[in-house]
């Protein structure tokens, strides 16, 4: 390839990356729910005509890894079910066993046609704060099947011939406690894809279709070659690790991984990991892949263009029927938010035996999901957010205090937005003193966030972890403080489970004390 063509290829690659970033901006600006417009719980990416990742915005790691896995499954399923990707149409789906993650994460995909030829896809995923089910926020700790976790949709047309399918919008929104939000957020997702389509067409129009295709192939080759080169500099060998999730009934769920670094490739084998469970801690295979991709990129390839080629040197073996590759219809609501975090800890721990000076100690290890809702003035309401933790310390650097880490990359919900939109008061939001794991380089501090109910008959669900097993330290560092959930009622204070649904009254208060990072 000539120098001129290499420069053109670099411009095309960078343009695609910025196009995906612009998709995310469009989604955020057009959305209705605080979870998307304020917390930015969404992701966007662009793919070629074969469903291979061309570029992604640096949004939510658990979304982005699963989008790669899920898009090809979604394309195949859509065609089989009579929903081909026609020009000026969009497909919507949230079945985790097709799209990855969990039911709340709704995926919207649009084909890109240029002069009647299919040249790629734009795709985005956004967490809808309530999609029905038995509890506000839809992630039900007591679920034993997927069907108890909310509404299952698609693959189906969200748009046809450039127009929204009203029946789909009505069907989807009618199952939610916040129907106006659902319609607004879905339309925002469509706007994001339209933005991406316009930008890709402009790139092709400027540089030509053949140059566009050639740049994609060259970008894949470059990313794969650079990833393999970085892997070859690691210490070859096989390294094992295990870590634990905490089942709501009190027993531990073991995750085990065997990492093999060989030549210019990496293999992860989950043989020995516990079986799938009848509670929402199962993580579909797309979520499991996301954790691996995230860890590998942070350790050896954060500067490598994130595309299909960057992940080609990684192979994964996850036995079907385990918690990291469950079978339909096992519930998966918490797998996306909690098991994903434990999987990241697990893979980091395995890598710590190969490159100990580069791997951080365990971070807080939970997204600390809070889902609250009820009825106010004759209307239903629902609120969802996650709460930050302490980042693990690593050689040469203390852990960061109060940050959404690893598989999440969201912001906190502004207190003003919470109190304006919901019958809630935030009475405390501060760093959790002495929660960081001790060491030469300490872990980051967790947070305390306290919610006071200002209406009766409020339903509060919390899904967190690291209540029994604290975030581990590394190279002699100590573990971080464990998660605690506190109920304040009638001037009395008592600990409650980090996984459960609670019926609260006026002036009841729940405090979430998130874990600190290991030292």
Of residues 502, 505, 471, 465, the one with CA closest to residue 484: 465
pLDDT band at residue 263 under the 50/70/90 scheme: confident
Identity of the highest mean pLDDT range in 79-83, 376-380, 442-446: 442-446
Tell me the domain boundaries of the chain. 3-221, 360-519
Query: First CA to last CA across the chain, in angstroms?
Result: 48
Count of CB atoms within 10 A of residue 312's CB? 17
Task: Quote the pTM value.
Answer: 0.95
Alpha helices in 121-265, H assignment, sequence order? 166-174, 179-207, 209-232
Asked if 479 and 473 count as a contact pair (C-beta separation under 8 A), the reply is: yes
> What's the pLDDT score for residue 4?
53
For the cut 70, the answer to whether the pLDDT of residue 1 exceeds it is no
Asked if 305 and 253 count as a contact pair (C-beta separation under 8 A), the reply is: no
> What's the pLDDT score for residue 437?
97
Q: What would the pLDDT profile of 176-190 be if each residue is shown by its tens digit?
A: 999 999 999 999 999
> What's the pLDDT score for residue 480?
98
For the cut 70, the answer to whether the pLDDT of residue 2 exceeds it is no
Count of CB atoms within 10 A of residue 518's CB? 33
Average pLDDT of every residue of the chain: 95
Q: What would the pLDDT profile of 28-74 be if each residue is shown by its tens digit?
A: 999 999 999 999 999 999 999 999 999 998 788 888 788 989 999 99
Distance CA 25, CA 9 (A): 25
Q: What is the SS3 assignment for 465?
A: coil
For the cut 80, the answer to whether the pLDDT of residue 3 exceeds it is no
Of the chain, the percentage scoring pLDDT greater than 70 comes to 99
Distance CA 35, CA 133 (A): 18
Q: What would the pLDDT profile of 345-390 be if each residue is shown by its tens digit?
A: 999 999 999 999 999 999 999 999 999 999 988 889 999 999 999 9
Distance CA 108, CA 165 (A): 13
Strands 314-317 and 265-269: parallel
Q: What would the pLDDT profile of 206-250 be if each residue is shown by its tens digit?
A: 999 999 999 999 999 999 999 999 999 999 999 999 999 999 999
* Neighbouring residues of 452: CB distance < 8 A, sequence distance ≥ 6: 424, 425, 426, 427, 507, 508, 509
């Amino acid at each position: 390839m000539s120098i001129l063509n290499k420069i053109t290829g670099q411009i095309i690659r960078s343009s695609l990356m910025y196009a995906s970033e612009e998709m995310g901006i469009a989604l955020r600006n057009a959305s209705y729910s605080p979870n998307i417009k304020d917390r930015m719980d969404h992701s966007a990416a662009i793919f070629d005509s074969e469903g291979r990742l061309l570029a992604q915005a640096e949004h939510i790691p658990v979304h982005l890894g699963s989008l790669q896995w899920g898009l090809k499954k979604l394309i195949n399923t859509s065609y089989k079910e009579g929903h081909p990707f026609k020009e000026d149409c969009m497909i919507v789906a949230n079945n985790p066993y097709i799209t990855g993650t969990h039911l709340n994460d709704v995926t919207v995909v649009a084909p890109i046609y240029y002069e009647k030829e299919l040249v790629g896809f734009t795709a985005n995923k956004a967490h809808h704060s309530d999609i029905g089910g038995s509890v506000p926020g839809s992630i039900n700790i007591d679920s034993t099947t997927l069907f108890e976790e909310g509404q299952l949709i698609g693959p189906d047309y969200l748009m046809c011939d450039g127009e929204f399918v009203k029946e789909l919008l009505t069907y989807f929104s009618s199952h939610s406690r916040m129907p106006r939000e659902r319609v607004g957020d879905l339309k925002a997702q469509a706007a994001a894809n339209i933005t991406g389509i316009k930008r890709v067409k402009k790139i092709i129009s400027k540089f030509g279709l053949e140059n566009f295709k050639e740049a994609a192939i060259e970008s894949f080759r470059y990313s794969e070659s650079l990833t393999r080169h970085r892997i070859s500099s690691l210490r070859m060998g096989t390294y094992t690790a295990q870590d634990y999730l905490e089942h709501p009934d009190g027993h531990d769920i073991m995750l085990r991984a065997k990492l093999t670094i060989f030549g210019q490739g990496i293999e992860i084998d989950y043989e020995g990991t516990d079986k799938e469970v009848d509670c929402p801690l199962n993580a579909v295979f797309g979520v499991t892949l996301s954790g691996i991709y995230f860890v590998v990129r942070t350790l050896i390839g954060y500067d490598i263009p994130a595309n299909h080629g960057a992940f080609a040197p990684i192979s994964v073996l996850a036995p079907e029927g385990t918690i990291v590759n469950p079978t339909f219809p096992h519930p998966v609501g918490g797998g996306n938010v909690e098991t994903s975090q434990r999987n990241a800890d697990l893979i980091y721990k395995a890598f710590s035996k190969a490159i100990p000076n580069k791997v951080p100690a365990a971070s807080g290890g939970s997204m600390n999901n809070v889902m609250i809702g009820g009825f106010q003035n004759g209307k239903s309401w629902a609120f969802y957010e996650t709460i930050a933790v302490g980042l693990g310390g690593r050689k040469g650097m203390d852990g960061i205090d109060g940050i959404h880490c690893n598989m999440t990359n969201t912001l906190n919900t502004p207190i003003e937005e919470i109190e304006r939109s919901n019958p809630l008061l935030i009475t405390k939001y501060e760093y959790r003193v002495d929660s960081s794991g001790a060491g030469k380089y300490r872990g980051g501090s967790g947070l305390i966030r306290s919610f006071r109910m200002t209406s009766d008959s409020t339903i509060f669900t919390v899904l967190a972890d690291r209540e029994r097993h604290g975030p581990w330290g590394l190279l002699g560092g100590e573990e971080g403080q464990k998660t605690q959930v506190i109920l304040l009622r009638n001037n009395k204070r008592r600990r409650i489970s980090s996984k459960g649904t609670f019926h609260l009254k006026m002036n009841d208060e729940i405090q979430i004390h998130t874990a600190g990072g290991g030292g």
